[in-house]
Every structure is written in structure tokens, then in C-alpha cells.
Amino acid sequence: MLGEIIAIGDELTSGRVLNTTSYFAASHLFAAGHEILAMTTIGDEPELIGRTLQRALQRADFIIVTGGLGPTTDDLTNAAVSSALDRPATLYPEILKKIQAYGKSLPAGQRVSLEKLAWLPAGAHALHTEAKTAGYFLVQDGKPIFFLPGVPQEMEDLLLETVITRLAVWEGEEVRQVRQKVYKVVGLAESEINRRLAHLEGRDPRVRIGYYPVFPEVHVSLTVTGATGNEAEAAMQKYDGKMVESLGDCCYGSGGDTLESVVGRLLGDRGQSVAVAESCTGGLIGHALTSIAGSSGYFVGGVVAYSDALKERLLGVNREILLRSGAVSAECARAMAEGMRRVTPVDHALSVTGIAGPGGGSEDKPVGTVYFGLASPEKTQTFLFRFSGDRGQVQAQASQTALDLLRRHLLGLNSLVLIMDAGQSKKNRR
Amino acid sequence: MLGEIIAIGDELTSGRVLNTTSYFAASHLFAAGHEILAMTTIGDEPELIGRTLQRALQRADFIIVTGGLGPTTDDLTNAAVSSALDRPATLYPEILKKIQAYGKSLPAGQRVSLEKLAWLPAGAHALHTEAKTAGYFLVQDGKPIFFLPGVPQEMEDLLLETVITRLAVWEGEEVRQVRQKVYKVVGLAESEINRRLAHLEGRDPRVRIGYYPVFPEVHVSLTVTGATGNEAEAAMQKYDGKMVESLGDCCYGSGGDTLESVVGRLLGDRGQSVAVAESCTGGLIGHALTSIAGSSGYFVGGVVAYSDALKERLLGVNREILLRSGAVSAECARAMAEGMRRVTPVDHALSVTGIAGPGGGSEDKPVGTVYFGLASPEKTQTFLFRFSGDRGQVQAQASQTALDLLRRHLLGLNSLVLIMDAGQSKKNRR
């Protein structure tokens, strides 16, 4: 269906807050098979809200409105809707009861007058069954209009949980159900992912695949529909299997997974620990690992060996290696990882040394050249990658790659790597 | 003046790319004294582009259009404008000459057919004097319309360099000039900044101040206008001085400065070096410092002493301290910083140890409690801060605060801190 998204709030038109909710809605509606005609952002002005809504009704099949539903006086969306669509504000006792029950469970300081949230334009239906967040829908001129909170998390939850399903119901002759899943992919270009999934696209009208690059990863959404919930779930199960198979071991997780949360879970499950020896990433890998609550259970810490002196002094890297092969070499990466394991009792030590740029590159070792070491009880492996991009992008890719090398090692997977030994270079899957 | 912003691109309406250019434009236009009626995002559809433009002409005083100006076939904005405003596509030989000269300076692989960029709707004027980027303006129904590239950096440069000035010219009876400067503030709440600057607001119609929280910092914009360039510059100079004075030493820089670039410059100027001993920040401070190209000139590296074992082993923190005061204590922060300076010859060592949460807090040391150490040749200082927010926010504030403590030390400034010694706590400016 053809949709229109309207975001309301003075904080948006004055440039104080970046509007991410319209983007979120557009990407997920697109993945669910809809097309967005226009995304409009306007301030908290009742007349303009009314006019914008009227115009959208003339040209779109459905409308998503976000913002201005809260309990304070500058939240004017409901009043504007009542006036523009001639639907007098009406008290919904059922909603009021739920809101009041919810309000009582809040700490005293957070209890505000929530009664305003139960006054909605006539004909409105609450979206959240427990009325824990604002949000309703109504049908005007045979078209559904969804009113969602402006708070990104609340808006996103309601969109995924209720709006996409209700829109699917609207669309067909029969009641349709929708299921959606997002796959997280690392180490594969968008074009290669596209190639791998091409055979799943365009054959079955119930299936839609969306691509969302989130540097340095790519996220892929699978949306399936069915005439019933069971049918949708069966289709999801079938295509979920095909997706996982086609994406292969470059897909590290789904939904809310992050690479660092997955690595943390793998380490935790095995009762193993990791330390890092970082040069060109400067602490980024440690930062990623410690962004997860509870990471002290498996992350010991490490050394940011940015200077050669620290590589020698804290990691015991032999000066010979630094003189002969340089700090950016497989030998140095190996020595850093093994040195880290000597410093403290730890199962795995990851090391990174490379040239983030913009300076420091040579013909032999251009900017983006990064060596990795992974020392584990049984062996030490080294890897060479060549990344492109600016300094920040090289660092981000290096950090992500280091974590992925550990993930692959923990899962016993092969790593596609460039190995460089004693001046020789060959591309190899091992 | 009342403006409207129109962003064009299928990548925006399909949710593949987050629209940040409209936000950027709104925030800077607002700071320059304009009001944005609506921000609309539509796909690359000529008819819709035309209709959207016509409607904006009816209700706004000026219009900013971004996107769809490029040389490829899916860039349709110019054709849509020609048709909607009845301004036939016209070849501008002067622009073509400049584009071709610029094209020749590009590497062979990057040279595309740029001639399309010289075909503009009749009456268009190029915005970039050297025609290095697409972008033009024209006057329709007495109202200026600005067409800017969709590439954020190019769009932002043209907006700041040409659009804001031309709009100021439009507004008054006489030709007005505008100057704008952005101040970067750390360690002060937005409300406190507001209080400090209140005396500069609302008195002089030529002066406008805007506030932009960029967590954990606040950025403040000063926009001044004058009848001539000289007058605008004189006003800028006068109010710049007042801004700097009012913001005080919490303002660490302006324009493109970041806290890590400022700290790097201060260290570089003094020929001094820094190392870090990070616990709860997990490597974030090292990452921030190494995000600056050339940071190897002053950043040695450090230790991510996440576990107590590494604090002891690599930094020589006495086990007594860990048992008596705990890892989250002023004593431990001091020992970490001093230990780091023993490890390697370095002028300054920064240490951070705290509770990022969500778990691990106690009544005595709630989540957000962070101790800092700064060991320098002449002395070691310790600091205690209590941050609020989630895990990521506590880490971000701790990293930013550590860098700011070093900045203040290098500049000989006082630090507003909570000092806690031997169980006593007092708030003090020292």
C-alpha cells in the first residue's frame, strides 16, 4: 500500500532533535511491502497538523502520525485530529482504568496526570492492549491512520508489534498476518549478500527481503505474510531456514544481537576468557566488549600497545621482530597475542596491528593493511586484511573483524583470510 | 523568514538512508533566525517533486531543496523543476567550463560525464563560485529557492557558506550579512549554559543563540547579522568575546574542534605525551585519542585494566589497596595512574575506575561513581564524579571527563570536582 508518514514536534522543525522515527518506520514498512509517498515533519501547530492530515488522506492509502500524544500542554496532536476530522474528544473509561492502574505502579515522582491520555478523538482504538504507551488508530474515509508516540523506543515497539500486522490485514481480501526477522551479517559486501539471496526474491509474493547497511555490517530483513498466524509462522520457519543457509556463517545473529554480545555469550557458555592487545584500534575492541553489561565475566582487559615501546615492555614483543618485520606484520601480531597470554591467565588473546591512515602507508603496506593475531591454548593464528575507507572506517572494520575472528574460532568455523608469510602473499580459505 | 525544506531521494523514502541533511539545515536556519514550517521527504518522482515545490511556494517565504542534482539518470530534480516552474533546461557555458576544468583535475577513473551538471532550469545561478559541487538558486514568485546536493558534507558546506548569507540578504530592506560560530562545551548542563548566556539573548535583534546537546557535550551556536560584512564581523567579534567570557573554561573549542583534537594539539604544542589506564571505560579513551590522525606523536598507549589481576600485574596496584578500598576508589585511581607512568616514560597518565552499571552499585558507591587519576611529573591528582544515565552514557561521560581533566591540567585551569578522602566527601572547586 501507499503510505505517508507525518512526524510532529517543534523540537524537530527547530533542528534540536534528529528525526529517526520516520526513518525507522519507512525502512520497516518498505520491508513489509509498502511504499512511502512522503515523510513530512511539522511543528506542534493544530491547524497545520489538520491540513497535513487532510492532504495525506487525499493521496495515501494509510497514514502514520508520530509525536504530540503525551500528557503535557504542548502535546496538541489529539486536539488537532478531533478538530480536523470532526471527531470530538471522548473519554475512554476502559483506557483510563488501565492507565490509572499503570500509573499506580510508577514511583510517586513519576506519576503525572495521565487522564489526558484517555481522551481520544471519537472512534479511536488503543494500540497497546495494556495502554502502557500512548498510541491509537482510527479509520477515516476507509483509510487507517495510526497515531504513535514520538519517543523512538515506544514508537518502534508499537510499529513492529501492531502497525505492520494491522496494515497487512487491511491490504488483502482476507485477513493477513505478518512476521519479520532481521539478520546481522559481518564480513560480506551488500552486493555479495544480494547475490546469495537472489534466489529467494521475487518468486513468492508472501516474502520480501530488505537490505540495510549499518557500517561495517549489513542487516537483512525477512518479512513474510500468511492468511493466518499459523501460515505466517510456517512461512517464516521455511524462509528463515533458507536465509540462514544462504547467508552462511557470515550471519552472526538476529534481532537485538550485536557481534560483541554474541562473542560474549559464546565465551560465557564455554566458561572462557579473552584479553586484547590493540595497536591501530587504540582501545576500540575493548570498548566494544565492555559495552555489554556483565562483560567482566569473560573480558580480562588488555594492552593498548600504540607505541613500539609498549609492545616491547608490556607484551614482550622482541625488538628483533620490530626491526626486521616492523610493527605492522604477522610476526608482530603473533608476538602481541602470545605476549598478552603470558601477561595474564586467559584463554584467548586477540591482537591487532595495522595502518589506519591517512598517513603511514607504503607500497608494500598501504593504508588499511591490518594484521590480526589470535592466541589460544592450542595454537596461535595470524590473519591479514586490507580494508578501505578513512581512518575511522579502517579502525571500525579492524575491531569488528577481530571480534569476528574470535567468534569463528569459538564456533570452529573457517575464516576467509589473506595469509602473508615470509614475504609471500596468497588468498586462501582455511 | 518562514522556510520549507524538501529532501528528495528514493533511498530516503525506502528507509535505506537516514535523512540528516534536513535536520542540519533546520538547526542552522533556526539558529540564524528563521522558522521551518515543514520538512518534507519524497522520492525521485518528477511530478511529486513539482507538486511539492508548488505547494511550498504558496505557504513559505523560502525553500531549500536537497538531492537529485547529480549526473546520473536517477537524478531528476532539475527536470522536475524545469517542468513545474516552466523554466526550460538551459546550458550554462560558464558553469560547463568550470566543471570541465575541475573534471580534468580528477583521476581518470573518477571522471564521469559532468555536462549534465551545466544544464539547469532557466534563471538558475550556481551557488559554488568554482562549480566544484552541484547547487544553484533561483527566484520564483519573488521567493528564493535553493537547490543543494544530497551528499551531507557538500550540502552542509554550501548551506553554511552561501544559503544562510543569501537568506539574510533577502530578509531586510537592506543587504544583510551573517556570521555564525559554534562553541563546544563540556562539563556544563544545557540549563546552566542557558543561564550563563541569558544576558546575551533577546536584547540585540542582530544576535541569536542556539543550543544543541550532542551527548555528553552541548554545542552552542552564535549567529550575528550586519548591514555589511564589516558590521557583521564587528558584531561577531564583540559577541564572540562575550560568549567566550560567559561560557568560561568549559568551552574547549569551536567549529570542527573535538575534545580529543584539542587535547592532542595541547600535548603536541608542549611536546608532551600521555598514556591511559582504563578500567570501566574499557578502551574508550584510547579510542578517542587515536581517532585523531597523528596521535602517535603524543599518545603512547596504555592498559585496559578491566580485571583486578591486570591492575596488579601490569600497573603494580598494591593488593592492599584493592582489599582495603576496592578497585573503585581514589587510592586505586592514583595507583593506576602512577603505575602507568612507571611502566613507560610518559609525561601524563590518566586513569579511570568506576561503576558503569547496570549492576555492581552499592549505597556507598552507586552506579555512575567514577574515580579519575591524573599523574604528571609534578604531582598526582584524583577526582570523583557521579554520572547518571545508562551504561553507555556513564562510559561516554567518564571518557569525556578524563580528557577534559587532562585539558584543564595542561591549561592550568581549575577543575570542579567532588573529592572523597578517607571516607569524607565534600564538594569543592580547587
Q: What is the DSSP letter of B45?
A: -
| A367 & A402 share domain | yes
> Is the pLDDT confidence value at B415 over 90?
no
Q: Rounded mean pLDDT of B216-231?
A: 85
Nearest chain A CA: its distance from B93 CA (Å): 36
Q: What is the mean pLDDT of chain A?
A: 89
The pLDDT, as a whole number, for residue B321 is 97
pLDDT at A419 exceeding the cut of 60: no
Per-residue model confidence as pLDDT tens digits over A239-267: 999 999 999 999 999 988 999 999 999 99
Task: Check A39 against B40: CB less than 8 A apart.
Answer: yes
What distance in Å separates residue B128's CA from the closest CA in chain A? Answer: 25
ipTM: 0.79
pLDDT of residue B419: 45
* Shared domain check, B337 and B213: no
pLDDT at B102 over 90: no
* Distance from C-alpha of B342 to C-alpha of B349, rounded to nearest angstrom: 10
**Dihedral angle over CA of A256, A259, A262, A266, nearest 10:** 180
Among B124, B16, B26, which Cα is nearest to B77's? B124
Task: Tell me which residue of B113, B116, B109, B39 sits closest to B77, measured CA to CA.
Answer: B116
DSSP A249: G
| B293 and B375 share one domain | yes
Of A148, A171, A194, the residue that ends a domain is: A171
Residue-wise DSSP of A105-159: TS-GGG----GGGGEEETT-EESSTT--S--EEEEETTEEEEEE-SSHHHHHHHI
B326/chain A closest Cα distance in angstroms: 16
Q: How many Å apart are CA B41 and CA B39, to the nearest integer?
A: 7
Residues A389 and A272 in one domain: yes
Put simply, whether B316 touches A (Cβ < 8 Å) is no
Q: Which of A128, A67, A49, A122 is nearest to A89 (CA)?
A: A122
User: Is the confidence at residue B111, as pLDDT, over 70?
Assistant: no
Cell of A62: 494509510
- Mean pLDDT score of chain B: 89
B348 sits in the region (left: phi over 0; alpha: psi -120 to 50; else beta) called beta
Contact in structure between B98 and B131 (CB atoms under 8 Å): yes
- Do B337 and B250 fall within a single domain? no
Domain of residue A108, CATH code:
3.40.980.10
B235 with B375, same domain: the answer is: no
* pLDDT computed for residue A31 by the predictor: 82
Whether B22 contacts A38, CB under 8 Å: no
List, in sequence order, every beta strand (DSSP E) within A318-364. Answer: 348-354
Measure in Å the smallest separation between the Cα of A216 and chain B Cα atoms. Answer: 15
Portion 193-212 of B in contact with A at CB < 8 A: 211-212
pLDDT at residue A307 greater than cutoff 50: yes
CA dist list (Å): B110 to A163, A217, B102, B103, B113:
44, 26, 11, 8, 10
CB atoms within 10 A of CB B354: 28
Residues A190 and A150 grouped into a single domain: no
Q: Are residues B270 and B394 in the same domain?
A: yes
Domain that holds residue B189: 178-254
Which residue, A119, A150, A171, sits at the end of a domain? A171
Query: Which residue in chain B has the smallest CA separation from A294?
Result: B359
Per cent of chain A over pLDDT 70 is 93
Task: Give the per-residue pLDDT at B426.
Answer: 37
Q: Which one has a higher pLDDT value, A14 or A428?
A: A14
Do B273 and B148 share a structural domain?
no
* Dihedral angle sign, alpha carbons of residues A227, A232, A238, A242: positive
pLDDT score, position A176? 65
Pair B129, B229 in one domain: no
Best of B274, B289, B304 to substitute, by most chain A Cβ atoms within 10 angstroms, is B304
pLDDT recorded at residue B110: 52
Give the pLDDT of residue B112: 57
Residue A276's φ and ψ, nearest 5 degrees, are -125, 145
Q: Is the pLDDT of residue B429 over 50?
A: no
Answer whether B9's CB lies under 8 Å from B17's CB. yes
Q: C-alpha cell of A185?
A: 551479517
Contact yes or no for A52 and B40 at CB 8 A? no
A119-128, A172-181, B126-135, range with the lowest pLDDT: A172-181
Could you tell me the pLDDT band of residue A226, with boundaries at 50, 70 and 90? confident
> Which candidate, A240, A237, A295, places its Cα nearest to that of A262?
A295
β-pair partners for A369? A386
Cβ atoms of B181 and B224 within 8 Å: the answer is no
Same domain flag for B214 and B288: no
Residues of B in contact with A30 (CB under 8 A): 13-15
User: Do residues A278 and A242 both lie within one domain?
Assistant: no
Residue A5's φ and ψ, nearest 5 degrees, are -115, 130
User: In this model, does residue A428 exceed pLDDT 50?
Assistant: no
Q: What is the domain count for chain B?
A: 3
pLDDT at B228: 80
pLDDT digits (tens, 9 = 90+) for A138-165: 999 999 999 999 988 889 889 988 998 8
Q: pLDDT tens across B256-303, in order?
A: 899 999 999 999 999 999 999 999 999 999 999 999 999 999 999 999
Handedness of CA B195, B196, B197, B198 (dihedral sign): positive
CA distances from A416 to A32, A419, A429, B32 (A): 33, 9, 5, 52
Residue type, A29: L
Exposure letters B300-324 (e unless 16+ CB within 10 A, then b): bbbbbbbbbbbbbbbbebeeebbee
Stretch (H or E) spanning A245: helix A229-247
Quote the percentage of chain B above a pLDDT of 90: 65
On whether the CB atoms of residues B397 and B341 are closer than 8 A, the answer is: no
What value does the mean pLDDT take over residues A384-413?
95
Which residues between 4 and 63 in chain A have a beta carbon less than 8 angstroms from any beta carbon of chain B? 12-16, 18-20, 22-31, 35-43, 48, 52
Among A142, A171, A200, residue at a domain's last position: A171
CB contact under 8 A, B290 and A310: no
CB A347 within 8 A of CB A399: no
Q: Which domain CATH number covers B218?
A: 3.30.70.2860
Q: What CATH number should be reported for the domain holding residue A281?
A: 3.90.950.20
Count the Cβ atoms, other than its own, within 10 Å of residue B149: 23
pLDDT-based confidence at B176, cuts 50/70/90? low
